[in-house]
Structure 1
């Protein structure tokens, strides 16, 4: 069967980036996957309602199952990678590496569980291993195509959200201002805010993706949102807008 091209293509201007990722051919060796990159799957973790096909499916069938489930999430994974690396080329490389690892360990993923969270966990671990452990500083770029403005308007997971008057003021800011403010957050704060307020993951899912306790996620999200609001408010004041103190 044919598979998507193993290449990242630059989208036309104005379109969301959509790098294409190829699942390796059925007779190709699976890429090596670090133990920390692919989250462990407990086969006894709840009785799956669906029949577990992993032990009986052929390599071609597994490839087709991977393409059907993982490739539609490609744009979302690229958006997250762009927020992590702040550079389109690095984001493309990160997504390619993460998808290769995901395919190589796809037999560990139990059908019927949260594929999106599983892929985000691999992406996050790959980013940590590729950038943070090497103390690599990604280049920043002004060519981001991902809309981050919804961060300022997103409903809070807690009872305290943005005040309506503040939202009204921030609503007049441009997307580039929000991107710049988000980029000023530390990696941990930026990622947890993105996963919660843009991707809509719950605390438990974010904790699994980032490999941290739920309490740590809640703390980082609270502090990250507070820092982002303060940065956006500063930008608003610089533009002469009235922002509640």
Structure 2
């Protein structure tokens, strides 16, 4: 048995059940499980600290990728295809989700905007009222801090206290994040994103196409909802 198999083995049954619950059937669940394990194996290192929550995050985001390909809201065939430059970048997202509360608000928002949602430094600077140079320098420091935090002994094992809302798909929460994103207020972006995460709702993706901003939200059951808003 390899080191990766030894790390995975205690969580295999729970992870397969989770994949089945996301997809709604055993056949698709098995496919999702295999895809998730391939992604996890490609990023595995001998000193990696991987727990059940980490494997679950990989499965959840692999399911997001699968849902995207089904194109919930189709655009006209004459439109340019929308490409996510950070598709599948699970390491950054997993590290951020585990340690966001230990970053500053500005650091958190820059990692969200650039490393997770895929905006450029110039686009981010324009949205939050900063300069491209300042954004690049602040992002560099944020990435360095995130790397240091991930290397600490507790790493991904850090525990957080999360209060889950009884209405994880609340449109009020989604509108709060959308309004914050459009305003460019980093404190509002951070607070609204944190509130969404605490409710069990995930912001799977944010991107701009022509005059619209698109937001993909994922609930704990794997249901994806896409909302568009004019810039």
The TM-score by the shorter chain falls in which range?
A: 0.3 to 0.5
Normalized per residue, which structure has more helix?
2
Report the TM-score, using the length of structure 1 for normalisation.
0.32
Higher relative contact order (CA 8 A, sep 6+): 1
Please give the TM-score of this superposition, normalised by the length of structure 2.
0.33
- Structure with the largest fraction of strand: 2
